[in-house]
Each structure stands twice: as structure tokens, then as C-alpha cells.
Amino acid sequence: MSANEDQEMELEALRSIYEGDESFRELSPVSFQYRIGENGDPKAFLIEISWTETYPQTPPILSMNAFFNNTISSAVKQSILAKLQEAVEANLGTAMTYTLFEYAKDNKEQFMENHNPINSATSISSIISIETPNTAPSSKKKDKKEQLSKAQKRKLADKTDHKGELPRGWNWVDVVKVYNIYILVFKLVTIITSK
């Protein structure tokens, strides 16, 4: 089987296995993310797997650069990627995306045993909560809707029907203009080619 056929079969399998799973996300037909752990879990992390053109004969690209992983130290990320890379080498030549996601789920505690969450999110939230009382009154002013004058309201009402929708054919003038341009170009091409 060719690499493309293997990839198509694995893609179908992944879609059927992870259908309805909120942890799985298909970024493109050759790139996938899976969240290991629940959303509120401080030891949760996100793995991204991207297939190369010759995957599964060549290893996929593994990444943990997602924003979700910002609280994980680079040493822990490198450790997880190294352990996943060992699993990649063991499964080279076979469809392994599902296997890698399941391997990460099964070994989550082992992967994250040295994890000490970085408190950047906590410090940012404390800064925001300190500054919030000062900015609250100004945000109310920004929420005010733009007022239309009577003339603007009439003009808008004249353009739309009672449901607020534009009438059928409102943009036909543009279609006719484009159609006329195509006719002129066609005539010029026939004149030039006939000479």
C-alpha cells in the first residue's frame, strides 16, 4: 500500500474512533491534537502529531508547542517528547497516531511526575483582578450601541424588506456588469485569433 492510502485509512479510523471526543481535534487531514487529561487538570497537556508525506514509513512530527502547554516547563516537554519518540521508533512503518495518543494517556502520571506548574497564569490573573475596578466604568461606555439618524434608518428600511433581508436580485447589476465584461473579452479573443 502507498503512504497516501495508509494515511487515508488511518484518517478514517481516527475520525470514527474519536468522533464526539472533545479531547481530539483534527487540525487538517494530516495534523491532529489530543488533550491528555481534563480541562481543569493542572497535569493535563496537549500533543500535536503531524504526518509527513511519506508517513507511516517515516516518523510523524511531534509537538507540544500549543498555548495549552504554556504552564509546562521545557524540560518536562522534552522528556515527554523523548518518550513518545521511542514509541514512534517502535511503531515505524505502521499507523501509530492512535497508539501514540493512547500511550500518552496511559502514561500521563509518569510523564508529568516532575511537573511543577509555572505560575504565570496566576500572576496575570492577579494583575487583571487588581486593575479591573479602574477599568470597569470605561467598559460600560464602550458597550453603548451606535445610534442611527432618522435618514439612515429610512435608507436602511428602503433597502430591506420587513424581515431585514435584502430583496432578491439586489446585486444583479454587478452580475450584469461582469457578464458584459466577459462578452467583450470573448469578442476580443475571437477577433485576435481570427486574424
CB 96 within 8 A of CB 87: yes
Structural domains in the chain (count): 1
When pLDDT is cut at 50, 70 and 90, the band that residue 121 belongs to is very low
Stretch 60-81: mean pLDDT: 87
Domain membership of residue 123 (yes or no) is: no
Domain membership of residue 50 (yes or no) is: yes
How far apart CA 129 and CA 123 sit, in angstroms, is 10
Domain membership of residue 32 (yes or no) is: yes
For the full predicted model, state whether its pTM sits above 0.75: no
When pLDDT is cut at 50, 70 and 90, the band that residue 143 belongs to is low
Cβ-count burial 102-134 (b if 16+ within 10 Å, e if not): ebbeeebeebbeebeeeeeeeeeeeeeeeeeee
When pLDDT is cut at 50, 70 and 90, the band that residue 155 belongs to is confident
Stretch 4-14: mean pLDDT: 87
Domain membership of residue 162 (yes or no) is: no
Domain membership of residue 193 (yes or no) is: no
Domain membership of residue 153 (yes or no) is: no
Question: Is 68's pLDDT higher than 70?
Answer: yes
Q: What is the CATH number of the domain that holds 48?
A: 3.10.110.10
How far apart CA 86 and CA 144 sit, in angstroms, is 57
Domain limits for position 102: 3-112
Domain membership of residue 148 (yes or no) is: no
Domain membership of residue 181 (yes or no) is: no
- pLDDT mean across residues, the chain: 79
Predicted pLDDT at 171: 64
Stretch 73-88: mean pLDDT: 89
